[in-house]
């Protein structure tokens, strides 16, 4: 994750807001002959941003406009992308239809807010575009039969940096955004992806999902259970975001895999494991070492340790299984957040991806023949 810069952060505009602005400009040009530049739209919460046009083209029965996405100070992979809307008169009675152009993906799995086969243009951006089309139809006395095609040049390549493939969105990016505004470093896109991953897992009948703090622990848990792609959630540091959504949208079994340091934080009650938002409490960790059987001298060493990795090494040298105790405490923290919505296990891995501790395995091992694939 990119480092958050110092000082006030500049907000940006979602892909959905940019697509809406381009759509309004193109449709207005098709109805009136003139492109509004800049083009102003109204967002769901009442903001009225204006966007400069990059493209402004029209022909018989069609018009095309584009804007450049400005994500503000957020490290958004789509920052600087060109968002293009091409509008055409639709077949009478067809209403407003949406189509995926170059660089916009298509939904292929159930569980997302759109059915398989639909362009990956999410419901809220669709609603925003429909609002702009309807307003202009009333203004110019036009019918509302419109084809809207959204394109993002290079979107297929950009999409490889997102979780779209895992969610079953192929061929490009999703057009997202519920408010139209990008809040820098809000991590909303990441958490949104976790939620959609859970939706896909449930819709495809998965009763076992796994979230991991990183690639190494993800590979370990995936190999251990031979889990398919749709059962893996891109949890990262957002264990709280995953567990809270699972509390409302449960599955039977949840594995949480991670390195020792990250899971120490979960054991200590943190639900956001990023280094800028939670830290290991070494005094508290020393007490945990005592619970695991560590003597007073070892506890004093832990209090002055520099890293959780150092604590793990000290305990391993003293033959104290601190990883097992951390797994138990982390499991208790996760269970408290889930509040009974599914069984949970914790899997602690080392830096080489070896599993060094598990807790909550009783429920899993009892049903393991059912949950392996």
Residue 362 clears pLDDT 90, i.e. is over it = no
Among 86-100, 216-230, 356-370, whose mean pLDDT is lowest?
Answer: 356-370
Instruction: Say what the pLDDT of residue 112 is.
Output: 87
Mean pLDDT of 321-341: 96
- The residue assigned the tokens 């999902």 is 209
* 363 confidence band (pLDDT: 50, 70, 90): low
243 to each of 2, 123, 162, 250, how far by Cα in Å? 24, 24, 21, 9
What backbone phi and psi angles, to 5 degrees, belong to 242? Answer: -70, -50
Instruction: Say what the pLDDT of residue 321 is.
Output: 97
Mean pLDDT of 324-351: 95
Residue 5 clears pLDDT 80, i.e. is over it = no
Instruction: Say what the pLDDT of residue 367 is.
Output: 52
Residues 271-299 pLDDT 10s: 999 877 889 999 999 999 999 999 999 99
Instruction: Say what the pLDDT of residue 370 is.
Output: 46
Mean pLDDT of 35-57: 96
Can you tell me the distance from the alpha carbon of 341 to that of 244, in angstroms, rounded to the nearest whole number? 10
Residues 100-121 pLDDT 10s: 999 999 999 988 889 999 999 9
Taking the CA of residue 298 as centre, how many other CA atoms within 13 Å lie in the half-sphere pointing to its CB? 23
- What is the residue-averaged pLDDT of the chain? 91
Residues 25-34 pLDDT 10s: 999 999 999 9
CA neighbor of 230 nearest in space, from 148, 310, 132, 110: 110
Residues 204-238 pLDDT 10s: 999 999 999 988 999 999 999 999 988 999 899 99
Mean pLDDT of 55-71: 96
**Partners of 274 in beta bridges:** none
Residue 183 clears pLDDT 60, i.e. is over it = yes
Q: Are 16 and 4 in contact (CB under 8 A)?
A: no
Higher pLDDT, 154 or 188: 154
Residue 368 clears pLDDT 70, i.e. is over it = no
Instruction: Say what the pLDDT of residue 371 is.
Output: 43
Instruction: Say what the pLDDT of residue 369 is.
Output: 44
CA neighbor of 238 nearest in space, from 226, 256, 254: 256
Residue 1 clears pLDDT 70, i.e. is over it = no
* 345 confidence band (pLDDT: 50, 70, 90): very high
Query: Which tokens hold the place of 241?
Result: 């975001």
Domains of the chain and any CATH numbers: 12-182 (3.30.2110.10), 199-371 (no CATH)
Taking the CA of residue 312 as centre, how many other CA atoms within 13 Å lie in the half-sphere pointing to its CB? 20
Can you tell me the distance from the alpha carbon of 98 to that of 174, in angstroms, rounded to the nearest whole number? 13
* 365 confidence band (pLDDT: 50, 70, 90): low
Residues 260-277 pLDDT 10s: 999 999 999 999 998 778
Query: Which tokens hold the place of 90?
Result: 């639709």
């Amino acid at each position: 994750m990119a480092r958050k810069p110092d000082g006030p952060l500049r907000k940006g505009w979602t892909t959905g807001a940019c697509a809406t602005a381009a759509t309004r400009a193109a449709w207005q040009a098709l109805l009136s002959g003139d492109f509004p530049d800049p083009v102003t739209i109204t967002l769901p919460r009442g903001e009225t941003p204006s966007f400069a046009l990059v493209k402004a083209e029209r022909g018989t029965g069609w018009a095309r406009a584009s804007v450049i996405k400005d994500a503000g100070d957020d490290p958004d992979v789509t920052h600087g992308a060109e968002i293009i809307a091409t509008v055409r008169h639709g077949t009478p009675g067809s209403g407003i239809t949406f189509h995926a152009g170059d660089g916009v993906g298509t939904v292929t799995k159930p569980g997302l807010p759109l059915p398989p086969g639909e362009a990956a243009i999410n419901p809220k951006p669709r609603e925003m575009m429909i609002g702009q089309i309807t307003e202009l139809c009333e203004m110019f006395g036009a019918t509302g039969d419109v084809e809207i095609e959204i394109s993002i040049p290079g979107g297929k390549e950009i999409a490889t940096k997102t979780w779209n493939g895992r969610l079953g969105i192929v061929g490009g990016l999703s057009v997202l955004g519920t408010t139209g505004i990008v809040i820098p470093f809000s991590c909303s896109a990441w958490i949104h992806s976790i939620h959609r991953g859970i939706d896909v897992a449930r819709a495809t009948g998965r009763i076992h999902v796994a979230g991991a703090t990183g690639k190494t622990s993800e590979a370990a848990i995936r190999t251990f259970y031979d889990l398919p792609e749709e059962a893996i959630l891109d949890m990262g540091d957002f264990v709280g975001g995953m567990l809270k959504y699972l509390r409302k949208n449960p599955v039977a079994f949840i594995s949480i895999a991670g390195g020792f340091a990250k899971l120490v934080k979960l054991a200590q009650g943190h639900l956001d494991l990023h280094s800028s938002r939670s830290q290991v409490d070494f005094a508290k960790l020393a007490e945990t070492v005592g619970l695991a059987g560590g003597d007073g001298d070892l506890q004093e060493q832990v209090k002055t340790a520099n890293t959780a990795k150092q604590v793990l090494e000290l305990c391993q040298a003293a033959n104290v299984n601190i990883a097992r105790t951390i797994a138990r405490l982390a499991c208790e923290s996760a269970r408290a957040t889930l509040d009974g919505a599914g069984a949970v296990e914790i899997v602690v891995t080392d830096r080489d991806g070896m599993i060094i501790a598990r807790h909550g395995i009783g429920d899993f091992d009892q049903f393991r023949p059912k949950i392996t694939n």
